[in-house]
Amino acid sequence: MYRLEPASSTHESRYRLIFECSLDGIVVFDDDGRYLLANQAACTLLGYGLAELRTIKITDIPTVAPRSTAERFAAYRQCGRAMGRVQVFRPDGSEGIIEYTALKVAPNEHIGILRDVSTREKVLSSLRRLAAVVACSSDSFVGLSTDGLITDWNGGAERMYGYTRDEVLGKPMTLLMLPERTDEALDIFRRVLQGDDIRNRETVLIRKDGTLIDVAVTTSATKDADGKVTGISTIAHDVSDRKHLERHVLEIADHERQRIGQDLHDDLGQELTGIGRMVSTLAASLAQRGNPEAQLASNIQARIKTAAEHVRNISSGLIPVSIDAGGLPAALQSLADNVTEQGACACTFACTTPNVLQDNVTANELFRIAQEAVNNAVKHARANHIRIELTASANLIVLRISDNGLGMRLPDAHGRGLGLRIMRYRAELVAAQLKFEDAPQGGLLITCTVRAAPPA
């Protein structure tokens, strides 16, 4: 420790203690800038011992701009008061950024207070770089208060959603959300405030002009130095191009499935039908002649008929049927009946409001989701009962498919996982919300919720 001479009074003792224990550097210098006294914090900041400091002047300490330091000291001598910042070079080669306050307190006696702001400057520099990245990023950066009000809005958000910063500050984040997805978003906010980070959640948001945009959103809490949550930050990336590509791939897959189904129906199906007729004729001829091989021919004919029915069932499932909005309930009923007739599983359908849709595209995608869910339940989940339900409430349409199979603990994750992804893609095509959960009776419950278009 660098100590003063013994004090002559209680007050001087207290001042000495403050001087020696201060985290800020304190120096005393004369009119020429020569150091007379310094506490330990000042010696550490400047990189010199007290004895060394007493041999040099303020202007002798290397800085980024030594001439500027000399000029500043000359200006200080004119008024006896100064505040500023300087970057110094210490004898050991290290650097530091020091904020200083200087004041003349008596003839030929001045006091200076020094504070190391190097760490703060590094943090501020990092924050400035981060702010520059956020400002020019094509991604949307939106800051929220803990009650969901928009507190920050970068240029990427302006370009992505069409609102200016002034238009949205203080507005609720639900401004960008589809009504049917508001509860889901609020639940995510609650989870984030409790400590969860939600990464790359794909959703659909609404632009200022009313158009929809596909985004992948990462949501996390912002905290103060004590770890207290002070708000929510969201980063959204536009995935519209990827979604467009996924839709294109799905269209290609549908086209190929239709082609294969049509080939099965037109080629293999017709070939089996022709062979069946030939074998039927052969069986009749053998029976007329009393040939014992007639029974074998009849058995072959029955097998060919069964195979032809299988081909017909497979091809009918592969060939897409165009469904208009009003025909969705009938198509779902037909799907349930066909599954039941095939004998592998009992399938039922219930619809409380027959005319629930005005949009043919949405009707087709909902049917394909139900078809995929039923196929997964039969082929992969080993279910023996499936229920399809179509309901409507307010402006929402809800499609539910439940089964009593293996549910989310399904061992064949790859096979069924592909089916689940296809269902998600189809749901996103019509801005629907798709949810997978364990069914109450065991098995899987799939719920697809979509906003109904208003009548034309």
Between CA 5 and CA 9 the distance in angstroms is: 12
Task: Output 263 or 165, whichever has higher pLDDT.
Answer: 165
Q: Is the pLDDT of residue 446 over 80?
A: yes
**pLDDT score for 414:** 41
Between CA 276 and CA 230 the distance in angstroms is: 76
Over range 2-18, report the average pLDDT.
Answer: 63
User: pLDDT tens across 276-322, in order?
Assistant: 888 888 888 888 888 888 888 888 888 888 887 777 767 666 655 55
**pLDDT score for 322:** 57
Between CA 328 and CA 356 the distance in angstroms is: 9
Q: What is the mean pLDDT of the chain?
A: 83
Between CA 323 and CA 108 the distance in angstroms is: 97
Over range 253-280, report the average pLDDT.
Answer: 78
Q: Which 8-state DSSP code applies to residue 224? A: -
Q: Is the pLDDT of residue 5 over 60?
A: no
Q: Which two tokens mark 33?
A: 């800038």
Nearest to 234 by CA among 221, 247, 248, 252: 221
Surface-to-core class of residue 83, CB atoms within 10 Å of its CB (0-12 exposed, 13-18 middle, 19+ buried): exposed
User: pLDDT tens across 91-100, in order?
Assistant: 998 999 999 9
Distance of CA 412 to the CA centre of its chain: 27
Between CA 120 and CA 117 the distance in angstroms is: 5
Task: Output 429 or 91, whichever has higher pLDDT.
Answer: 91
Over range 206-232, report the average pLDDT.
Answer: 90
User: pLDDT tens across 314-362, in order?
Assistant: 766 665 555 665 778 888 888 898 888 877 789 999 987 766 666 777 8
- DSSP letters, 250-301, are HHHHHHHHHHHHHHIIIIIIHHHHHHHHHHHHHHHHHHHTT-TTHHHHHHHH
- Residues 6 or more apart from 37 whose CB is under 8 A from it? 4, 27, 28, 50
**pLDDT score for 112:** 94
Q: Is the dihedral of CA 8, 13, 19, 21 positive or negative?
A: positive
Q: Is the pLDDT of residue 24 over 90?
A: yes
User: pLDDT tens across 38-81, in order?
Assistant: 999 999 999 999 899 989 999 888 887 666 778 888 889 889 99
Read off the pLDDT band of 453 (50, 70, 90). low
Q: What percent of the chain has pLDDT over 90?
A: 29
Helix (H, G, I), strand (E, B) or coil at 446: strand
CB distance 152 to 141 below 8 Å: yes
**pLDDT score for 43:** 94
Helix (H, G, I), strand (E, B) or coil at 203: strand
* Cα angle value 313/314/316 (rounded, 5°): 65
Between CA 366 and CA 328 the distance in angstroms is: 8
- Rounded to a whole number of angstroms, the distance between the first and last alpha carbons of the chain is 86
Task: Output 140 or 14, whichever has higher pLDDT.
Answer: 140
**pLDDT score for 343:** 74
Sheet with 35-38: list strands edge to edge.
35-38, 25-29, 109-116, 95-106, 81-89
